[in-house]
Copies of this chain bind each other. A is one copy, B any other.
Amino acid sequence: MNEMVVNSVGRKIPKYIEGIGELKAFQGAFAYKPVGEKASLKISKVTPKDNKVVDNIRKSLELCEIKDGMTISFHHHFRNGDYLVNMVVDEIASMGIKDITIAASSLQSIHSPLIEHIKNGVITGIQTSGIRGKLGEAISKDKILKNPVIIRSHGGRPRAIEAGETKIDIAFIAAPAADKYGNVNGVEGPTACGSMGYAMVDAEYANKVVVVTDYMVEYPACPISIPQTLVDYVVLIDKIGDPKGIVSGATRITRDPLELFIAERASEAIIVSGLVKNGFSFQAGTGGASLAVAHFLREYMRKEDIKGSFAAGGTTGYLVEMLEEGLFKSLLDVQCFDLKAVESIRKNPNHIEMSASFYANPHNKGCVANQLDIMILSATEIDVDFNVNVITGSNGVIMGASGGHCDTAAGSKLAIVVAPLLRGRLPIVMDEVTTIVTPGETIDAVVTERGIAVNPRRKDLYDLFKEAKLNVVDIHELKHIAEGLTGKPEKLETTDEIVGLVEYRDGTIIDTIRRVK
């Protein structure tokens, strides 16, 4: 068995993994000091006579000199409507290529055909923010993948790419619109997805870049989100995705009375913190109650005539309405979750597209997450040390996504988790989460229907909440209430086999995911 070290959140991390290399154990949210230089690229030369348009994906793979062992990258702006990952991997498989690593910004249920390619040895490594559906199950339970999957946050991924830890041999860009010379935007065409934020870093650092589109526009594409200067080949195909799958489910305010109740309590706490004032900034993660918090803050901002600076992250029509109402000066957008957001980023110059590095990379000269005042987060599980899990279910199966969770928790002045005490028959607050994605030191409070628990590191916040007579409770008390209702959850049984590594945004390992028994 591998030599292990215990990291600063108490998890055992191997020092080395075959096929991955040496691992650095997590030592605290801002402990790691990066060294060395960013990755550099080969110098190119393209003359006026060169043509970038090639007939099909196969041809582009041949021109990129695809071979065994390469790393191929994808972005997930099409979410569950993405056709490109499966098309490209099918083609790679049909060429007899093996031992490919897929470096995707995220993977969805639609990508379950990858299971066969993994079993056949075409894919031996995956790096992603999240995995959903059967693919996650097969990786977690059957350990079909040769190397552990590396889970990275939306800030950690561009960091890894820029640092040269993820060396992308070929980046595939699913382009809603592109011109013959490779300029890309996300706001035109039948599969318009808005921001191209995740794909920007791939284009900048990949050795070869292939743009695949089903909507070729006259030169030059306008706007230009990914420039021709980074693109090697352009492929026109019939259909790159299903527009219906692009729209995320989690974009409407919840109607669930319990979630609304929690959201209202969270908004009260945020207001009491004193941060909601002119020029403040805000982000709400997807899911359940978090977007509803925006709804209550909006009412407060109207009443008190407060104008915020920016709202960030993945954007929805709800945030667009707040922008248009003048409640925020701008939106900083790494991905659009619905068509209203797509329309807005196309038309409104104050709705600004940002790259994933600009959004959340801890190792550039300053990301947007650093400028966040308030961050509303969800949680699958949270432990009594405020560590949060958003990647595995309590059954140990990978089913979620790291997303910007740990990035924004670390960057924001106030990071608040909103969650019901129970989900189904499962407690949310517990002694130990299944997998740590976000360290408790970066979470300031958790708001449930049974009270608000404040991280002991934030005595200042505790005093403010107490003074305002908010229902402040100890997090152990929340755990106790939850367990009283459901019984103490059974300890998950896993083998020693590591099926996943959860990388913190700085490149250190915060947790491992073990194979479910």
| A 362-375 to B, binary, CB cutoff 8 A, 1 in contact else 0 | 11111111110000
A218-B309, A223-B352, A310-B219 are known contacts. Are A46 and B163 too (CB-CB below 8 A)?
A: no
A229-B357, A310-B219, A371-B219 are known contacts. Are A365 and B46 too (CB-CB below 8 A)?
A: yes
Q: Give this chain's copy count.
A: 2
Closest B residue by C-beta to A43:
B34
Interface pair B366/A220, CB less than 8 Å apart? no
Interface centre among A30, A41, A332 (most CB of B within 10 A): A41
Interface pair A181/B366, CB less than 8 Å apart? yes
Query: Which residues of B have CB within 8 Å of A332?
Result: 220
Interface pair B44/A231, CB less than 8 Å apart? no
Interface pair A33/B47, CB less than 8 Å apart? no
Within 8 A of B (CB), among A307-330: 309-310, 329-330
Task: Give A182 Cβ to nearest chain B Cβ, in Å.
Answer: 7
Q: Is A228 an interface residue when CB atoms closer than 8 A count as contact?
A: yes
Query: Which residues of B have CB within 8 Å of A257?
Result: none
Within 8 A of B (CB), among A274-300: 279, 281
Chain A binding surface, main DSSP class? loop
Query: Which residues of B have CB within 8 Å of A45?
Result: 33-34, 362-363
Q: Is A349 an interface residue when CB atoms closer than 8 A count as contact?
A: yes
Q: Is A134 an interface residue when CB atoms closer than 8 A count as contact?
A: no
A219-B371, A371-B181 are known contacts. Are A228 and B366 too (CB-CB below 8 A)?
A: yes
Q: Is A77 an interface residue when CB atoms closer than 8 A count as contact?
A: no
CA distance A371 to B228 in the complex (A): 11
Task: Give A347 Cβ to nearest chain B Cβ, in Å.
Answer: 9
A48-B370, A332-B220 are known contacts. Are A40 and B40 too (CB-CB below 8 A)?
A: yes
Within 8 A of B (CB), among A98-125: none
Q: Is A403 an interface residue when CB atoms closer than 8 A count as contact?
A: no
CA distance A367 to B229 in the complex (A): 6
How many residues of A are in contact with the other chain, CB < 8 A? 63
Q: Is A156 an interface residue when CB atoms closer than 8 A count as contact?
A: no
| A 237-280 to B, binary, CB cutoff 8 A, 1 in contact else 0 | 00000000000000000000000000000000000000000010
Query: Which residues of B have CB within 8 Å of A182?
Result: 365-366
A366-B229, A367-B229 are known contacts. Are A330 and B220 too (CB-CB below 8 A)?
A: yes
Q: Is A52 an interface residue when CB atoms closer than 8 A count as contact?
A: yes
CA distance A212 to B66 in the complex (A): 46
CA distance A105 to B454 in the complex (A): 54
Question: Closest 5 A-B residue pairs measured CB to CB?
Answer: A40-B40, A229-B364, A46-B366, A48-B370, A37-B40
Residues of chain A at the chain B interface (Cβ within 8 Å): 30, 33-48, 50, 52, 162-163, 181-182, 209, 218-220, 222-224, 227-232, 279, 281, 309-310, 329-330, 332, 349-350, 352, 357-358, 361-371, 410-413
- A36-B42, A37-B42, A222-B352 provided; 20 other pairs, C-beta below 8 A? A30-B47, A37-B41, A37-B43, A44-B364, A44-B365, A45-B363, A46-B366, A46-B367, A48-B370, A48-B413, A50-B370, A218-B329, A220-B330, A222-B350, A223-B352, A228-B367, A229-B357, A229-B364, A229-B366, A230-B365
Pick 10 A–B contacts, CB within 8 A, sort by A.
A35-B43, A43-B363, A48-B410, A48-B412, A181-B366, A182-B366, A227-B358, A228-B367, A230-B364, A231-B365
